[in-house]
Structure 1
Amino acid sequence: MKKIIAGVEIPDSVMTRAATDQIRSTECELMFHHALRAFLFGALTGYRGKLTFDAELLYVGTMFHNVGLNVQHHRSPYRFEVDGANAAREFLRQHGATESAIGQVWEAIALHTTPGIPEHMSPLIALLSAGVQMDVRGARFDEFTAQERDEIVQAYPRESGFKKKIIEAYSRGMVHRPETTFGTVNADVLDRWDPNYRRLNFCGLVLGSDWPN
């Protein structure tokens, strides 16, 4: 039976069911519901813009976009987005996706927290970022109807204190690798969360480099 929320059909295939099962078993309910809402907001953005996109790939991308925050990646030397992108790539290869599709999902996850870039790339990359940004910080909030927002939140609730809790989840996933936040919005997260965090400054790195002039 098809599941349709706010006019968006949830993809139902062997691959998407496997993605759902994997993420539901490894992420807390707060992050799992966030991923589902991000898919729905991303898909609605695509419909509104009359964009052509693969709903299955968008679904898998949103399912995996925060996997890099999980405890098994806390000692990773990479940005959490890269760890999530790598996990999605492995999953998609196991399910026979083409290298082109895998590359798009990888880029979509890797770039989803980089402002000003995804919207100029492929629809899949743009929509994953748009869906995440809408759910996390209310980007383009008024472009969604109250009915759309209500249906989505009713299906996959934003639990009490979601705003602070998701910042905490980001922080716990990055506090052990603060150097990976340089030049990204993730630096804002640790700057607010960790009293010992010291933000790197690009100008300071340039002026303090080993070059004589």
Structure 2
Amino acid sequence: MEPTLPGSPVCGLAIEVATAYSSPSLLNHSMRVYAWAVALADVHHVEFDAELLFVAAMLHDVGLTAEFDSHTQPFEVAGGNVAWVFAAGAGWPPERRARLAEVIVRHMQAEVDPAEDPEGFLLSRAAAADIAGRGVADLPEDLRAQVLERHPRLDLVTEFLRCFGDQAARKPESSAAAAMRNDLATRMARNPLERN
């Protein structure tokens, strides 16, 4: 069953921001990432802060949007900075703002220690599942079908590869560039979620 969204007003604001600045494909990706993260928390027995994880999921790719793209920083760092500002406006204390930014930056790391950063671990694993199919087998089939029906993939592959290709061309040392060098296009095409 698809997870219930946290009832916090800040989560509602995060949806509003994500809806205003993300394409339908990226917005649906963000919603799926939260659903996958919650499911993976059960699989890996990870306790997490639902509000923090949800806001991170909604804003984790905001650095790919035209409005918040940085020509000097990797998209995940730019996105973390935007999220920090968002959280400041929402009244979060400085330590919680910093955690949100950290979770978003870490989502592009191949491995995040769940004991050190449970939300970063879940966001990283969930984003990798949704984009490249990593660990999709850990997600229950009925959940996959339900979430994909509610939040379809649309043209995510085309849009994401365009965004990452652009990031790679302008920032060759970035994590996006590394992903493109590691044949992200093939991994996205082979993602089982593309066939559901």
TM-score class, shorter: 0.7 to 0.9
Q: CA deviation at 1:167?
A: 1.3
Contact 2:69 2:78 in 1 (8 A): no
Summarize the alignment of residues 159-174 of structure 1 with structure 2, pairs less than 5 Å apart: 159=154, 161-172=155-166, 174=167
SS at match of 2:67: helix
* Matching of residue 33 in structure 1 with residue 28 in structure 2: yes
Between the aligned partners of 2:67 and 2:138, the Cα distance in structure 1 is 37
Distance 1:12 1:186, change over 3 A: farther
Cα RMSD for the two superposed structures: 2.2
Contact 2:112 2:120 in 1 (8 A): no
Distance 1:147 1:192, change over 3 A: closer
Contact 2:48 2:119 in 1 (8 A): yes
Match of 2:177 in 1: 186
Contact 2:48 2:118 in 1 (8 A): yes
* TM-score, reference length from structure 2: 0.84
After TM superposition, the runs of 4+ consecutive aligned structure 1 residues lying more than 4 A away are 190-193
Q: CA deviation at 1:46?
A: 1.0
Q: How many residues align?
A: 184
Q: CA deviation at 1:21?
A: 0.7
Q: CA deviation at 1:102?
A: 1.9
* Matching of residue 122 in structure 1 with residue 113 in structure 2: no
Moved more, 31-40 or 98-107: 98-107
SS at match of 1:8: coil
Q: CA deviation at 1:76?
A: 2.7
Q: CA deviation at 1:51?
A: 1.8
> Deviation string for 1:113-154 (max 9, x for gaps)?
121235563111111111111111111111111101001101
Match of 1:106 in 2: 101
Match of 2:82 in 1: 87
Contact 1:85 1:105 in 2 (8 A): yes
Match of 1:146 in 2: 141
**Structure with bigger gyration radius:** 1
Unaligned runs of 5+ in 2: 185-196
39, 43, 50: which one aligns with 2:38: 43
* TM-score, reference length from structure 1: 0.78
